[in-house]
Structure 1
Amino acid sequence: MLLAQFQALWRARSLCWVMTRREISARYAGTAAGVLWAYVQPLLTVAAYYIVFDIVFAMRLGENAPTRAVGAFLIVGALPWMAFCDALARGMSSLVEAGGVLQKNALPPVLFPARSVLASMLVHGPLLLALALAYGPQHRYGVALVALPALVGLQFLLCLVLGYALAILMAALRDTAQVVGFMLSIGIFMSPVLFPMAMFPADWRWVLWLNPMTSLVLGYQSVLLQGLWPDAQVWLGVLAWLTVSAAALAVLLRRSRDQLVDWL
């Protein structure tokens, strides 16, 4: 069932691309700057972190941190986290928003979460890759930067699978939006985004691995802050979350096969 969904998405990839472009255009229709507005919030956030923490207060982390500069540390974790939250939120609401279309047209439901997640990643993905220009010179653009596109691609895939699963749950139970919104609001405190992994109590570090972004954030920190290839635990953590998410999605697809359109 899961494989069939992604085969259908591949067959309709041209339609998905057209829908993605239209969604991006529709978000900023009527504005003078257009899609440039999508970059304003993350760029202002990044600038604020750098100015406040690195220039004004010149705050520094401990010896075991990936870097001493607090602002530089926050940027590397916060930007992927913002991309994750935006993609997940948009993917989660995609099926409910497209309910009328799905009731009238025999389109693969996977098209709509894929469109929303892809639209989000087309905005945030270039920003994540652009971090290489800011942090690369510190490590002389070492070979570890090759891992950056792989991390971005894995983040997109994880957001797509999770977003589709949450979209089905939201179609069945609208309370899903409130629960996920709350989890995302506290999730940043349960990941190494705001603090180095070494600062978290060793006996409780397993809690951080319950956050699907922990592995990816550690990967970004290794590549950009230390110029190192991500550890095996980073790749294994991402693959573990992809496996669990795909299994959950397969169950949801099987359970909702005959009822999804009615829920919408």
Structure 2
Amino acid sequence: MNFLLQDLQSLQRLRQLCWRMGVREMQSRYAGTAAGVIWVYLPPLLTMATYYLVFDIIFNMRLGDQAPARTVGVYMIAGMLPWIAFADAISRGMGSLLEAGSALQKNPLPPVLFLTRTVLASGLIFGPLLLAVFLFYGPQHGFAPLALLSFVLLLLLQAVLCWLVGYLLALLAAAVRDTVQITNFILGIGIFLSPVLFPIAMFPQQWQWALWLNPMTPFVLGYQSALLEGALAGTSVWLAIAVWFSLLALVLNGAIGRTREELIDWL
């Protein structure tokens, strides 16, 4: 894990620069617009409002007895916003090194700095939105302390997941440009291979194992436990997250070592 640790040490030394770059990255997303920061938060907020209006108000759709929530919209919002945040961080992080190619060729800055800037900017945007969702669901379970603890821990761990996956994909995209198209396709269908749109109990039992091939499945289940039930996520959630982190860290460490010498040339 030497290569990964070296990058983490570089981030520690350049943490103030990384923070400023992340804030600037976030600001650049709405620079030059009349509504300013509103355009950053408006799309996900409108998406959540649409789900609630269509499924809960207009069609008044209900889930089965095995579901953690009665109404479809309330259930879907609990997992949809974390998925949108994950997809945004991954898609933008994947292209971060390609966009920073000229800067990396001219300045002796570590590539991980540009990836971290992008993931940090995404977190600064979606973090407040996710906390607002907790405030929306909180009255249902009386703002249970265990739910809050689980929710905050999941937020922090999801940021780490986005960093690991985004960094790995950024290195792959630098080597093979087709990675961008393939990943965007996977993100498009990945939501159907997770319990975001339906409870995991409604998925065919003989195929439920396939949902755990999606790294966001344990996070979605954890968010649903915290938001809908006011409970701490189960042991299987934390175990799955630990397994995913271990695998991603090992693969990423190898990818950093294999691409370190050729990365700047690829960009």
In the superposition, the TM-score normalised over structure 2's length comes to 0.98
Q: CA deviation at 1:168?
A: 0.4
Which of the residues 9, 12, 25 maps onto 1:10? Answer: 12
Stretches of structure 1 that go unaligned for 5 or more consecutive residues are none
Q: How does 1:36-115 map to 2 (within 5 A)?
A: 36-115=38-117
Partners of 1:33 and 1:16 in 2: CA distance: 27
Alpha-carbon separation, structure 2, partners of 1:221 and 1:27:
30
Tell me, what secondary structure is at the counterpart of 2:138? helix
The answer for the alignment partner of 1:206 in structure 2 is 209
* AA aligned opposite 1:171: A
Return the alpha-carbon distance in structure 1 between the equivalents of residues 61 and 89 of structure 2. Answer: 31
Confirm or deny: 8 A CA contact 1:24 1:35 kept in the other structure.
no
Alignment partner of 2:230 out of 202, 227, 231? 227
Q: 1:247 aligns to what?
A: 250
Does 2:197 correspond to 1:194? yes
Could you tell me whether the CA contact under 8 Å between 1:60 and 1:69 is conserved in 2? yes
| Whole-Å separation in 1 of the counterparts to 2:27 and 2:114 | 16
Query: Aligned-pair distance for 1:199?
Result: 0.2
Give the gaps of 5 or more residues in structure 2.
Answer: none
* TM-score normalized by the length of structure 1: 0.99
Q: 1:183 aligns with which of 183, 186, 200?
A: 186
Read off the aligned partner of 2:77 and give its amino acid letter.
I
Deviations 1:137-189 (A, max 9, x none): 01011122221111000000000011001000000000000110110000000
Q: Is the 8 A contact 1:98 1:112 kept in 2?
A: yes
Q: What is the DSSP-based 3-state SS (H/G/I as helix, E as strand, rest coil) of the residue aligned with 2:198?
A: coil
Match of 2:23 in 1: 21
Single out whichever of 29-38 and 1-10 deviates more from structure 2. 29-38
CA distance in structure 2 between the partners assigned to 1:24 and 1:184 by the alignment: 22
Equivalent-residue separation in structure 2 for 1:32 and 1:248 (angstroms): 43
Query: Alignment length, in residue pairs?
Result: 264
Cα distance in 1 for residues equivalent to 2:26 and 2:207: 41
* Separation of aligned partners in 1, 2:102 and 2:34: 30
Q: CA RMSD, aligned part only?
A: 0.7
Identity of aligned residues (%): 58
Cα distance in 2 for partners of 1:9, 1:36 equals 30
Which aligned runs of 4 or more in structure 1 are off by greater than 6 angstroms? none
- Partners of 2:134 and 2:207 lie apart in 1 by 32
The worse-fitting range, judged by mean Cα deviation, of 111-120 and 26-35 is 26-35
Partner of 1:146: 149
- Which residue pairs with 1:168 in the alignment? 171
The alpha-carbon deviation at position 26 of structure 1 amounts to 1.5
In structure 2, distance between residues paired with 1:186 and 1:29: 31
* Structure 2 counterpart SS, 1:241: helix
1:237 aligns with 2:243: no
